[in-house]
């Protein structure tokens, strides 16, 4: 697996262009300055991501952190989470694009988590939120929320009706979280009921990914004023060996470690699915599986002798076709198209051009 493929997958299947830019500008502690010059197509990305919709929003943008915060409730989800979660609630700081998600069981919990978020970020930064925007689903907000905002001096701005759906910042952001989440779920091969872990990890990784902001830094660095590190990040779904405490081992022949699945990150360790429970593991060994998912276009067909022979036959055919076309003036336009096709089939490495 190349460095490029590994980083693309570890970072939650981020856009290749952003990944290159992050490496070039060393936006995370421990990122290589250069990654391979190769054209990759990722099967997981193709399967799980929607194409980005155009985003037009001429509403006022924040000029510093916490000036504007967007919030949106996503759900109810068809699959209930392993802790009975039905929704995820997200808060996005407009300036840094730092996101915080809470996975909740019912709409009634929105108020509690709003309080928690506001208190947490205000304590952390010493700044106060000036404006709170509900981009979608205003119905879950209630009198208590308005009362709280009034007490805290936060202006509440529901999104104007005409920019609903397509243009809400938080709603759009939640869709990108879902895209990344689907990729992660596909990597980890765990049951869907673990979606809350997947969504939280998507948010964690997105906070460490270059986003469209005024400062060309990661949301984490803009918000916390320090560079995050890539060192603790591992391929999602990797096997995690968690040491069993001495007192829990009944016999000297019992194994010294149990094996779990990497489902997320915390400040001090990893979130690991082990024996059908999610635990936080600090002392553990992680073995990253080396499965190739991305394919180099043009090389993927060279795996077997049979395919090589087929390709040779095809090349011979196209050569013959080209020879006939040479003498047929009327087919010039067509032959150009064909040549284009032939080129793309034969090329092993393409110039830098990425589409996901």
| Residues near Zn ion, by CB under 5 A | 13, 42, 44-45
Compare residues 14 and 121 and give the one whose CB is closer to Zn ion: 14
Compare residues 42 and 159 and give the one whose CB is closer to Zn ion: 42
Compare residues 110 and 178 and give the one whose CB is closer to Zn ion: 178
- Distant-in-sequence contacts of 271-280, Cβ < 8 A, 24+ apart: 271/197, 271/201, 272/240, 272/242, 273/190, 273/194, 273/197, 274/240, 274/242, 278/82, 278/194, 278/197, 279/242
**Separation between Cα atoms, residue 179 and residue 304, nearest integer Å:** 34
Question: Which residue of this chain has its Cβ atom nearest to Zn ion in the complex?
Answer: 42
CB 291, min distance to Zn ion, A: 13
Q: Is 73 helix (H, G, I), strand (E, B) or coil?
A: strand
CB 9, min distance to Zn ion, A: 6
CB 147, min distance to Zn ion, A: 45
**Separation between Cα atoms, residue 271 and residue 264, nearest integer Å:** 5
CB 64, min distance to Zn ion, A: 34
Where is 72: in which H helix or E strand? strand 68-74
Q: Please, are residues 154 and 188 in contact by the beta-carbon 8 Å criterion?
A: no
Q: Please, are residues 11 and 208 in contact by the beta-carbon 8 Å criterion?
A: yes
CB 293, min distance to Zn ion, A: 7
Q: Sign of dihedral through CA atoms 57, 60, 63, 68?
A: negative
Neighbours of 40 (CB within 10 A): 19
CB 134, min distance to Zn ion, A: 32
Of the CA atoms within 13 Å of residue 187, those in its CB half-sphere come to 36
Compare residues 75 and 295 and give the one whose CB is closer to Zn ion: 295
Compare residues 45 and 68 and give the one whose CB is closer to Zn ion: 45
Compare residues 42 and 284 and give the one whose CB is closer to Zn ion: 42
CB 177, min distance to Zn ion, A: 15
Compare residues 46 and 348 and give the one whose CB is closer to Zn ion: 46
CB 72, min distance to Zn ion, A: 25
**Separation between Cα atoms, residue 235 and residue 1, nearest integer Å:** 12
The torsion defined by the Cα of 327, 331, 332 and 336, in degrees rounded to 10, comes to: -110
Degrees, nearest 5: CA angle 173-178-179: 95
Compare residues 43 and 155 and give the one whose CB is closer to Zn ion: 43
CB 150, min distance to Zn ion, A: 45
Compare residues 42 and 240 and give the one whose CB is closer to Zn ion: 42
Closest CA relative to residue 183, chosen from 30, 2, 8: 8
Q: Please, are residues 73 and 140 in contact by the beta-carbon 8 Å criterion?
A: yes
Rg, Å, the chain Cα set: 25
Q: Please, are residues 259 and 239 in contact by the beta-carbon 8 Å criterion?
A: yes
Q: Is 208 helix (H, G, I), strand (E, B) or coil?
A: coil
């Amino acid at each position: 697996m190349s460095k490029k493929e590994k980083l693309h997958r570890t970072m939650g299947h981020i856009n290749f262009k952003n990944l290159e830019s992050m490496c070039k500008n060393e936006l995370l502690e421990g990122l290589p300055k250069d990654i391979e010059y190769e054209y990759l197509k990722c099967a997981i990305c193709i399967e799980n991501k929607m194409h980005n919709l155009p985003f037009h929003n001429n509403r006022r943008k924040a000029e510093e952190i916490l000036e504007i915060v967007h919030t949106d409730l996503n759900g109810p989800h068809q699959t209930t989470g392993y802790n009975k979660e039905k929704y995820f609630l997200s808060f996005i700081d407009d300036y840094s694009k730092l996101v915080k998600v809470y996975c909740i069981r019912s709409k009634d919990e929105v108020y509690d988590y709003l309080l928690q978020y506001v208190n947490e970020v205000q304590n952390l930064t010493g700044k106060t939120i000036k404006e709170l925007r509900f981009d979608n689903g205003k119905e879950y907000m209630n009198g208590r929320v308005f009362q709280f905002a009034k007490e805290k001096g936060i202006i509440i701005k529901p999104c104007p009706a005409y920019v609903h759906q397509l243009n809400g910042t938080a709603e759009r952001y939640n869709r990108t979280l879902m895209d990344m989440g689907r990729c992660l779920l596909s990597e980890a091969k765990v049951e869907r009921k673990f979606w809350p872990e997947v969504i939280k990890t998507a948010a964690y990784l997105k906070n460490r990914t270059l986003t469209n902001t005024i400062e060309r830094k990661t949301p984490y660095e803009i918000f916390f004023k320090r560079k995050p590190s890539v060192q603790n990040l591992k391929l999602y779904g990797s096997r995690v060996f968690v040491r069993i405490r001495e007192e829990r081992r009944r016999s000297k022949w019992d194994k010294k470690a149990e094996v779990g699945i990497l489902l997320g990150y915390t400040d001090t360790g990893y979130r690991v699915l082990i024996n059908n429970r999610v635990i936080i593991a600090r002392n553990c060994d992680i073995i990253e599986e080396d499965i190739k998912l991305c394919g180099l276009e043009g090389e993927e067909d060279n795996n077997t002798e049979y395919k090589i022979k087929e390709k040779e036959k095809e090349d011979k055919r196209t050569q013959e076709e080209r020879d006939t076309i040479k003498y047929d003036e009327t087919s010039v336009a067509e032959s150009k198209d064909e040549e284009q096709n032939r080129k793309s089939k034969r090329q092993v490495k393409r110039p830098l051009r990425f589409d996901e």
